[in-house]
Structure 1
Amino acid sequence: MSKKNLMKQAHKLAKKIVEKVGDYIIALKLTLKKVWAMAKAGRKKMSDTAFKSALYELTHQKKEYNGPEFFWLGSKGIPVWLMDNNLDQTELWGAQLAYNMYAERETEKAALIVFETDFGNITMWAPKSVIKGF
């Protein structure tokens, strides 16, 4: 599949799922990942069956994570999914043992969060739009 066809298919899928996702940019990101995965798997073009299958997978995926939504330390909260995506398993375990959490640096849209632990500091960037209390 050419890059032009990849983008066409991704936009076509995104238009179908934008209502469920709520934002076109997010829908496009999800569909680009799906279409790219199909292209890497060796598909030369997307048939109607493959299109319907991709559409079903994108709109009917179940949420896998059932734990707490935020990691709270005092009045400050970081989404667990964000920590899961940005920290490796050891850092995630260490961050959950933190005794202090603060923003070391900030930009207009993000903050560098520092988790102080007995084992040293763990840092990660987090968008301000999803963190609570900073």
Structure 2
Amino acid sequence: MSKRNLMKQAHKLAKELVEKVGDYMIALKLALKKIWAMAKAGRKKMSDTAFKSALYELTHKKREYNGPEFLWVGRQGVPLWLMEKNLDQAEMQGAMLAYNIYAERYTEKAALIVFETDFGNIKMWSPKSVIKGF
């Protein structure tokens, strides 16, 4: 696929995406990444079904985790995706066994979450916008 055709396909996809993302430059960036990935995979042309598939993939959020979304202790909840991102495997296992969760300190936008376990305390910073009950 020539660079000219890549750009044509990316602009065509971006015109469809702009309604979802609200900004044409962001839509074009996403479209270019998708079109370039397809070109690297060996596609010579983009059929209508491939176009619709690419549009669907870019507009629908993928969920990789199918289990519970929060670790709840009492009425406080911390998102598991945030714990997986900030804690190593041993800390994660310890936090899952926590008998108490509380916020030790607050800033304007974040809280220092403490997981009390039998093995000691595990601390992690979390944005206030994603935690429940603190």
Band of TM-score, shorter chain: 0.5 to 0.7
Q: How many aligned residue pairs are there?
A: 115
Identical counterparts, % of pairs? 64
> Per the alignment, do residues 90 and 15 of structure 1 end up closer, same or farther by CA in structure 2, a change over 3 Å counting?
farther
The alignment's TM-score, normalised by the length of structure 1, stands at 0.61
- For residues 68-113 of structure 1, the C-alpha deviation after alignment (integer angstroms, 9 at most, x for no partner) is 1211111111112221222222211110111221111111111010
- Give the AA of the match of 2:107: T
Write the distance in 1 (CA, Å) between the matches of 2:102 and 2:115.
Answer: 7
Instruction: Give the superposed CA RMSD.
Output: 3.7
| Residue 14 of structure 1, CA deviation | 6.0
Q: Which runs of 5+ in 2 are unaligned?
A: 1-6
Which of 15, 18, 25 is the equivalent residue of 1:15?
18
Q: Which runs of 5+ in 1 are unaligned?
A: 19-23
User: Tell me, what secondary structure is at the counterpart of 2:113?
Assistant: strand
- Larger-Rg structure: 2
Q: Which runs of 4+ in 1 moved over 6 A?
A: 47-53
Q: Is the 8 A contact 1:112 1:123 kept in 2?
A: yes
The alignment's TM-score, normalised by the length of structure 2, stands at 0.61
Alignment of 1:54-133 (within 5 A): 54-60=54-60, 62-133=62-133
- Give the AA of the match of 1:112: L
The corresponding residue for 1:35 is: 33
